[in-house]
Structure 1
Amino acid sequence: MSDAAHPIGMFDSGVGGLTVARAVIDLLPHEDLIYFGDTARCPYGPRAADEVRKFALEIMDALVEEEVKLLVVACNSASSAALDEARARYAVPIVDVIAPGVKAAVAATRNRRVGLIGTHRTVESGAYEKAMATTRANVSIHARACPRFVEFVERGDTSSDELLDLAREYLQPLRESDIDTLILGCTHYPLLSGVIQYVMGSGVVLISSAEAIAAEIFAELKDRNLLSRNRAMGAHRFVSSSEQGITSELGNRFLGPEFKDIEHRPWDKR
């Protein structure tokens, strides 16, 4: 089997990365895809950087063993903790969530004041600020950790009064910062776009990096002559590290009809 026929490997700490999987399937329908959600150890955001790095490298090791042709780190916390080491460790190309989000924000902002929401791990890492500095776009980032958003998404709550109250609490400092663009710096957060947009107002552009990530994956595969030659719909595998993590209801909400049965792969049984 040629390298072009190998699957794309993607992972996240839970179900949030399925928003990226959706965009990849839409743009690259003929590609095979393996998605791993580390639901047994979710969320990554409150964990120490070394622990997140260890988890991320374990998962990428497993995906490389599956002979993937490209790795997608569909998790902001993992990208900020493990990306540099991963690129030195693996021969396959790696696409992360941070750089595409920054590029999209630079293109969208009018007043050069961009907000960022994410987990504590992502916000404290400074990864978005570092990526923004490389653009030389003279754009300031105003960051705010929103750690509890993940738990609402993981339990399927995207519109309750409790969530709305929490969003108002989290986002008020950003409303006062006069931002015109807001990066959703966690792949779970696009499922909360309705509430976030309601609180921030229609004048703020929300940046979900899923489509930008899919475009970068296309470019990487095209440049390396790794686009699938298959004309049929690609095969999609969804793997979880716990039986309770990715339910059919959540999978269908994130991904739609392409969501299939979940395989469970506890780490102690690999």
Structure 2
Amino acid sequence: MKQPIGVIDSGVGGLTVARELMRQLPKETFLYLGDTKRCPYGPRSEEEVRAFTWQMVNFLLEKNIKMLVIACNTATAYTLTELQETLNIPVIGVIEPGARAAIKFSRNKRIGVIGTEGTIESKAYPNALVAIDQNIRVNSLACPPFVPMVEDGILSGPKAEGIVSNTLQPLKEMNHIDTLILGCTHYPLIKDLVQNEMGSHIQVISSGEETAREASLILAYHKLLEKGNASPVHEFYTTGDIEKFRLVANSWFEEPVRILKSVQIEHVPSSAY
């Protein structure tokens, strides 16, 4: 029996990481849990984020996962170390992989970070960047409107463009970064809007690809890579509105979801934790 990999997020944003994981690890089975009912996590206290994250983790541990991917920057900032020290399975987050990717692409060592209030206040990205290269200069900006916009499926059009333009204006006025980290896994769903607003001279980084690469390396190191040839059956869970979740999932996965007809999206009430 295949042992799955668990992926958790505060909502639909982690689907951007899950898609990259599935692309790079096509033999693996994934269980995705998005806490859409209590999203966004950004404005919440560290204690709330830690409690909610542990509830999601415990739900997936009952399904015998072999690895946990925290596809939420806020949850990564507040719980990664604790989870790594407590659980007996590999646990990875999205912040360090994103930081490494940004440093790789930056030419002038000036990097911007956009994220939720919680992620920005935690200073997790500046700490991760400077830990790698002390010469890096970081400009951070909290973007509270972005997660609700994505969760509501507002991914394009004049309304979305207006929200993105107004929110990013303070960062544009700084005008010296050459690389921008999307410090929330919801943001790749509006990456084109962000790119258009910031300009083609800015390298926009999402952490999904680097996170998936790290997951593959860790699985190989622990000899946990799936070797069978049976097609994986992924499961998607949400604590909130099933149809809204399904709509975003289908729009993001597009062809892979149509091919994987066995994908299941189930409702998980918060009380079930």
1:265 and 2:249 correspond: no
TM-score calculated relative to the size of structure 2? 0.94
Question: Partner of 1:110: helix, strand, or coil?
Answer: coil
Question: Partner of 2:6: helix, strand, or coil?
Answer: strand
Instruction: Give the share of equivalent positions with the same residue, in percent.
Output: 42
Post-superposition shift, 1:200?
Answer: 0.3
Deviating above 4 A after TM superposition, structure 1's stretches of 4 or more consecutive aligned residues are none
> Residue type matched to 1:87 in 2?
Q
1:103 and 2:100 correspond: yes
1:202 and 2:205 correspond: no
The C-alpha deviation readout for 1:216-254, integer Å capped at 9, x for no partner, is 000000011000011233220001112347432211112
1:154 and 2:185 correspond: no
Cα distance change of structure 1 residues 8 and 35 upon mapping to structure 2, 3 Å threshold: same
Q: Which moved more, 1:55-64 or 1:96-105?
A: 55-64
Partner of 1:82: 79
Question: Partner of 2:84: helix, strand, or coil?
Answer: helix
Partner of 2:62: 65
Question: Partner of 2:76: helix, strand, or coil?
Answer: helix
1:131 and 2:134 correspond: no
Question: Partner of 2:7: helix, strand, or coil?
Answer: strand
Task: Tell me, in whole angstroms, the C-alpha distance in 2 between the residues paired with 1:68 and 1:107.
Answer: 32
1:51 and 2:54 correspond: no
Partner of 1:255: 253
Task: Tell me, in whole angstroms, the C-alpha distance in 2 between the residues paired with 1:207 and 1:15.
Answer: 19
Aligned match for 2:219, one of 194, 218, 221: 221
RMSD: 1.4
The C-alpha deviation readout for 1:123-148, integer Å capped at 9, x for no partner, is 00111111112202511110000111
The C-alpha deviation readout for 1:75-122, integer Å capped at 9, x for no partner, is 001111111211111010111010000000000001110000000000
Partner of 1:15: 12
Cα distance change of structure 1 residues 245 and 150 upon mapping to structure 2, 3 Å threshold: farther
Post-superposition shift, 1:163?
Answer: 2.1
Task: Tell me, in whole angstroms, the C-alpha distance in 1 between the residues paired with 2:264 and 2:232.
Answer: 15
Question: Partner of 1:176: helix, strand, or coil?
Answer: helix
> Residue type matched to 1:254 in 2?
W
Q: Which residues of structure 1 form unaligned runs of 5+?
A: none
CA contact (8 A) 2:67 2:90 kept: yes
Task: Tell me, in whole angstroms, the C-alpha distance in 1 between the residues paired with 2:163 and 2:66.
Answer: 40
Partner of 2:178: 180
Partner of 1:115: 112
Partner of 1:143: 140
> Residue type matched to 1:264 in 2?
H
The C-alpha deviation readout for 1:52-81, integer Å capped at 9, x for no partner, is 011001111221221111000000011111
Task: Tell me, in whole angstroms, the C-alpha distance in 1 between the residues paired with 2:134 and 2:226.
Answer: 35
Task: Tell me, in whole angstroms, the C-alpha distance in 1 between the residues paired with 2:213 and 2:269.
Answer: 32
TM-score calculated relative to the size of structure 1? 0.95
Q: Which residues of structure 2 form unaligned runs of 5+?
A: 258-262
Question: Partner of 2:96: helix, strand, or coil?
Answer: helix
> Residue type matched to 2:267 in 1?
H
